[in-house]
Amino acid sequence: MPKISAPVVLSAFPSSTDGIWSFPFALTFDKAIHDPTTLRYEVHVDTFPSLGSPNLRIAYSNGANIVSFQNGALGKSFELSLPKRQISGDITWYWKLRINGGGYGGGYVSDWSDVHTFVVPKDSTRDIATSLWDNIADDVAYSKVANSSNLYRIMDMIARELDQALLENTYTQKDLSLEMGRDTSVENNFGKLVGLGTVATEPTVSYRWKVRELFKSFINSPGVVTGIRRVIRTFVGEDPHIFDATNTDGWILGINHIYDPLHSTEPDPIILYSRLDKGFHWYVRIWNSWGLTYDSTVLENYVNLIKPAHTLTTFTYPTQKHAQIRFNIADDWNACSLTDLVTDSSGSLTLDGAAVSGTAETPVIHIANVNAWDVLSLDQVLGGQTILVQLRSSANGVSFSIYEDLVLGQAPISTPLQDYVQLKITISTTVPGNKPVLSALRLDCLHT
């Protein structure tokens, strides 16, 4: 399986149960992930920045050492139990996450996310109890050393209640943060602000992800188009295609009169004229390659809140899905039939020894219902070398078409649109001692 894009990690936050923490994240769209529901996730949590101390906690989304795992369409979250709060002080924890396993071949792996931190507040019970004892009048001082006395138990109970009040105060302040607020505060504060309600069948982490992205679409997007793209990615994960058809189609705005409500009989202060050069017409093509469930009306409403004034927006929803055949790690190259080619220490494909030419033939790859080829792209090191990529297809995985020579940056022309494909790579060099290197190959396609 190829190396794929790392998830986007959100801030860890405490759950409603003391000692249980949520570690939320969201998938980044990647054409090479054909079915995201099969992915497995791995999280590392530690008290040292290196994430290599004896305190290291390692958990998997399908493992037994987790409280739960929320598996939303895009937003997902580990729920983990951490050690109790310490009387010695606040404890800083470090964590990172990646995709590790799953997929149509069972072995997707992403890069690690950046390392993030969160702080577990100290347990102040002892400090509060000590302060209470120190303020007891001298005439009852005899009980201060009698820790098993009823007086001690009462003081300890009061101290624990005050500690919980301090803890709740700390978390309540963090509830004012979109990143670190607890689920109910995200809904009651930021959810109300962006006008998004919860869906009963949706995990809370999915709602958190949507609220976060919508908020940033309005507040933190450097431009209208960037904001629209972010809104759409919030629901389907994938970037849309936005085409400005103003110059070709134009848009008849009609004449819109704006009146002053207090002086409705006076002449119109503003008239918006119906000139083709006064309005815009945008086509927004919304892809949904992962087949996620969402409300298109809600999505369109948010886009319409961001789009420029006097812009007609036509939404289209293709049934086609993007997919990509990708080879970019040693395991993938080594799964090919190699002749005079090997993988180097970086996981790239290169010539073996003194060979000046070699070939790699991939295993047969199944992509259901291919209906359009897209471009070929390579990551390579040039220098007196030639890399030829060929493609063939089959309806049953046995009888194949002839190999077609592909052109870099262009789509295949003659290869039939069939469900089983195979690639052949030929690498050669005309400079003795110069070993060409191919680190990644990508062939995009559309399917249904």
Amino acid of residue 180: M
Q: How far apart are CA 207 and CA 186, in angstroms?
A: 9
DSSP for 48-76, written as a single string: STTS-STT-EEEETT-SSSSEEEE-SSEE
Distance of CA 177 to the CA centre of its chain: 20
- Nearest of 364, 370, 347 to residue 423 by alpha carbon: 364
258 three-class SS: strand
Distance separating alpha carbons of residues 303 and 317, to the nearest angstrom: 15
Q: Which of 111, 105, 103, 92 is nearest to 42 (CA)?
A: 111
Distance CA(424)–CA(436), nearest Å, equals: 16
Task: Give the chain's end-to-end CA distance (angstroms, integer).
Answer: 22
CA–CA separation, 159 and 142 (whole Å): 20
Q: What is the pLDDT of residue 173?
A: 82
Q: Nearest Cα to 68, choosing from 27, 114, 16?
A: 16
Q: Enumerate the β-bridge partners of residue 71.
A: 76
Residue 159 pLDDT: 84
Structure tokens of 143? 């009980």
pLDDT in tens, the chain (448 residues): 788 999 999 999 998 788 899 999 999 999 999 888 889 999 999 999 999 999 999 999 998 889 999 999 999 999 999 998 888 889 999 999 999 986 544 578 899 999 999 999 988 887 887 777 776 655 554 455 555 567 777 777 888 888 888 888 888 888 888 888 888 888 888 999 899 988 888 899 999 999 999 999 988 877 888 999 999 999 999 999 998 876 655 444 444 444 444 544 544 444 444 444 556 778 899 999 999 999 999 999 999 999 887 788 889 999 999 999 999 989 889 999 999 999 999 899 999 988 889 999 999 999 889 999 999 999 976 666 789 999 999 999 999 999 999 998 899 999 999 999 999 999 998 887 778 889 999 999 999 8
DSSP string, 27-43: PPP-TT-S-GGG--EEE
Among candidate residues 387, 393, 380, 386, the one with its CA nearest the CA of residue 423 = 393
- Nearest of 113, 73, 116, 117 to residue 91 by alpha carbon: 117
Instruction: Dig out the tokens for 186 from the structure.
Output: 């995200």
Give me the phi and psi of 263, to 5 degrees please. Answer: -140, 60
Q: Nearest 5°: phi and psi at 55?
A: -85, 0
Q: In the chain, count of helices (H) and strands (E)?
A: 9, 27
Q: Which of 49, 94, 92, 98 is nearest to 76 (CA)?
A: 98
Q: Are 112 and 97 in contact (CB under 8 A)?
A: yes
Bridge partner residues of 404 (DSSP):
391
CB-count burial class (<10 Å; 0-12, 13-18, 19+) for 320: middle
- Which residues pair with residue 208 across a beta bridge? none
Which class for 248: exposed (0-12), middle (13-18), buried (19 or more C-beta within 10 A)? exposed
- The residues, ordered by sequence, that sit 6+ positions from 446 with a Cβ below 8 Å of its Cβ are 320, 321, 322, 323, 370, 371, 372, 373, 374
Residue with tokens 């790392």: 6
Is the backbone of residue 409 left (phi > 0), alpha (psi -120 to 50) or beta? left
R_g of the chain computed on alpha carbons: 30
pLDDT at 38: 85
pLDDT at 334: 92
